[in-house]
Chains A and B, each alone.
Chain A
Amino acid sequence: MFEQQLFNGLTLGLIYALIAVGYTMVYGVIELINFAHGEVYMFGAFLCVTIINSLGVPLFPAMVLAMGLCALMGVSIDHIAYKPLRKAPRLAALITAIGVSIFLQNIAMIIWGSRPVPFTRSAVPAAFSEQAFALGSVSVSGLQLFIYLFTTAMMIGLTLIINKTKVGTAMRALAQNATAAALMGINVNRVIAFTFALGSSLGAAAGILVAMYYNTMSATMGYNAGVKAFAAAVLGGIGSVPGAMLGGVVLGVAETLGAGYVSSQYRDGLGYAVMIAVILLRPSGLLGKSVGQKA
């Protein structure tokens, strides 16, 4: 039982990590909490299903297409809503972010309705619902195995991009000091756009995986996922990409174990409790740099 919960928690945690990375990367480069990220995640799921249903595309190409569209969406959000406010007071950008989030949530409600929609079952490979392997009492389904492999691959790819490529170096430079980075000839807006594209496509992938895992999606699913992914990002140390990955996994496992052994009703509140505890005890998070006193 315990081992099974652990594996289920890992599934959920890897997905949270995928969302949290998007929050933390954007926070790293422009110091803005991108509240609309949860909506990009929701759009990922809906776009994927719409592409499958209307174009008859198989699952994997549809997934790639949806991720691409969401990357475009993330870049557009930044370009239309956030970019004009780069020099405005912090509060203006934060309020805009929340406005974008509500706006997108309602667009989704108009397009796809306010009721939950199931994932197109026929598009999901049969192997996903079968047991992939069993370890003693633990049974892991094909979909879970796919989630493990896919998210791990994404994380490795992301780490490589950030640490080994030119644009990744530029991202890290921007996170340290935007003015100095601009003086060194880095095209700041292009790097920010790239960050949004990267984060949004990972968020979209997470949305698709969640929709497949639970076989349901709704226009409001971004809010709860957003709160939890935030909690994960804060747990890992906001601004730190490896921190967000670790935070997501820890939170997912903690949530599943908490739901199994403590209280299943307060499942959604657990992420919040973890976040408060982290902020109280170690605001810099597990892997983050220390945060300033300045209010």
Chain B
Amino acid sequence: MTGQSTALKLLGLCALLAFPLMPFSSEYVLHVAVLIMVYAVLAMGLNVLPGFCDLLDLGYVGFYGIGAYTAGILSLNYDMSFWVVVPLAAALGALCGVLRGAPTLRLSGDYFAIVTFGFTELVVLFLTNEIWLTRGPLGMPGIPPIDINLSWLGIDWRYDFMSETPYYYLGLLMVAFVYVVMCRIEDSRLGRAWLSIKEDPLAAASCGINLMAYKSVAFAFSAAVGALAGCFMARWSMFLAPDVFKFWESFLVLCMIVLGGLGNINGAIVGSVVLIALGEVLRVVLPHFGLPTETRFLAYGLLMILIMRFKPGGIFPAIAATSKKSRLIMDLKARLQAERAG
């Protein structure tokens, strides 16, 4: 049984790696695949707050925007390499994440939801009005693509990411990296602390868990992942405009993790695949009915209501069980679930 599932996983990995070489994978298909990866990273990053800590984040895309514009500005104005920009953007994202969460650290989760509700709009307002920095509504064209330049090693070799294929592999690497980090954190001391805060903050505090410190780490970590996705997106799409980071996008990412099951890392990836694919289909189908493409969010809203009502664990609860996790936590979660049901 175990051998079979390992073989299946290997097969899946091979399929993913060979995907761009297949005849049916046109630039468009690869573009959608990369988009899925960006959203998978966003979904995994958002998942930290509502999934692990029970705090509803309604403005997550703000960090995506902060990361993207940091990458855009540093790359355009200072000619920095992607590899230098990533840690800087992630650090800035983390800082903003802590600043945003800090006022609500001592208050109930409702206040956090309220504060995050307007956050995306605040970021968009800043991006639109600080024209000296961001060019405002005109957007930011001409961001250079990612390149690998080994001249600092004394080797005269340079590779520019000119088509979708290299972005596909880099995106795959990024998703894998974030995925592994998330899984490791969920099983770590940090992840257990978050779980206890989520289940019962009062009990957690009385067991000596520093609520404010652990929540701050969650704010920073979640935001840094969002900024990372933004960085990648900026150097991939090579154009930025404030409108990309509207409230709707936060909602879309939230819908992904609700679909996959809150707190479920595998589910976040599945959710992003399903919703981006659905979005692409609706983008083509909706105009046939004479509807604006934004109305695809109607389906997302409905989906969210129905899932919360009928399947609060996400539509694929089986996927959660197949992810490798420490026995201890699995048992604990099962016991908590049983207690809640009974």
Residue numbers of B with Cβ under 8 A of A are 50, 54, 56, 58, 103-104, 106-111, 113-115, 117-119, 121-122, 125, 128-129, 197, 201-202, 205, 211, 215, 247-248, 251, 254-255, 258, 262, 291-292, 294-295, 297-298, 300-305, 308-309, 312
Contacts and interface: CB of A to CB of B under 8 A. Distances in A.
B117 A227 contact: yes
A276 interface: yes
Interface string A82-114: 001100111111111011111111110110011
Interface residues of A, number: 54
Nearest to B247: A223
B111 A103 contact: no
B121 A99 contact: no
Give the interface SS of chain A, mostly helix, strand, loop or mixed.
Answer: helix
30 contacts: A33-B113, A88-B308, A91-B50, A95-B304, A99-B302, A99-B304, A99-B305, A99-B308, A100-B305, A101-B301, A102-B300, A106-B295, A106-B298, A106-B301, A110-B291, A114-B292, A223-B121, A227-B118, A231-B118, A265-B129, A266-B129, A275-B114, A275-B115, A275-B118, A276-B115, A279-B104, A279-B107, A280-B103, A294-B108, A295-B109
A295 B211 contact: yes
B103 A292 contact: no
Given A103-B302, A227-B121, A279-B103, A95 B308 contact: yes
Contacts of A230: 114, 117-118
A252 interface: no
Nearest to A100: B305
B301 A99 contact: yes
Contacts of B122: 269, 272
B184 to A, nearest CB: 25
Contacts of A156: none
Given A99-B305, A109-B295, A295-B197, 4 more contacts: A88-B312, A96-B308, A99-B304, A265-B125
Contacts of B305: 81, 96, 99-100, 103
A130 interface: no
B209 to A, nearest CB: 11
B201 A295 contact: yes
Contacts of B302: 99, 103
A224 B303 CA distance: 24
Contacts of B309: 81, 84-85, 96
A283 interface: yes
Contacts of B115: 275-276, 279
A234 B108 contact: no
A268 B247 CA distance: 14
A291 interface: yes
A137 interface: no
Q: For the complex of A and B, list the 7 residue pairs with the smallest distance between their C-beta atoms, beginning with the closest.
A: A103-B301, A99-B304, A102-B301, A106-B298, A295-B201, A227-B118, A99-B305
B308 A92 contact: yes
B251 to A, nearest CB: 6
A34 B78 CA distance: 45
B108 A109 contact: no
B299 to A, nearest CB: 9
A291 B308 contact: no
A279 B295 CA distance: 35
Contact of B108 (A99, A100, A102, A292): A292
A293 interface: yes
Contact of A279 (B54, B111, B129, B301): B111
A107 B299 CA distance: 10
A93 to B, nearest CB: 8
A98 B304 contact: yes
A269 B107 contact: no
A130 to B, nearest CB: 35
B254 A283 contact: no
Nearest to B53: A295
Nearest to B306: A99
Given A103-B302, A224-B121, A268-B125, A294 B56 contact: no
* Most chain B CB neighbours (cut-off 10 Å) among A95, A113, A271, A276: A95
A110 B107 CA distance: 39
A93 B119 CA distance: 21
Contacts of B118: 227, 230-231, 271-272, 275
Nearest to B309: A84
Contacts of A96: 304-305, 308-309
B120 to A, nearest CB: 10
Contact of A100 (B197, B254, B262, B301): B301
B288 to A, nearest CB: 14
Nearest to B125: A269
Nearest to B204: A295
Interface in A28-71: 31, 33, 35
Contacts of A280: 103
A59 to B, nearest CB: 30
Given A91-B50, A106-B298, A272-B118, A98 B103 contact: no
Given A98-B251, A292-B108, A91 B54 contact: yes
Contacts of B303: 99
Interface in A108-151: 109-110, 113-114
Given A94-B113, A294-B202, A266 B125 contact: yes
A295 B193 CA distance: 14
A279 B56 CA distance: 17
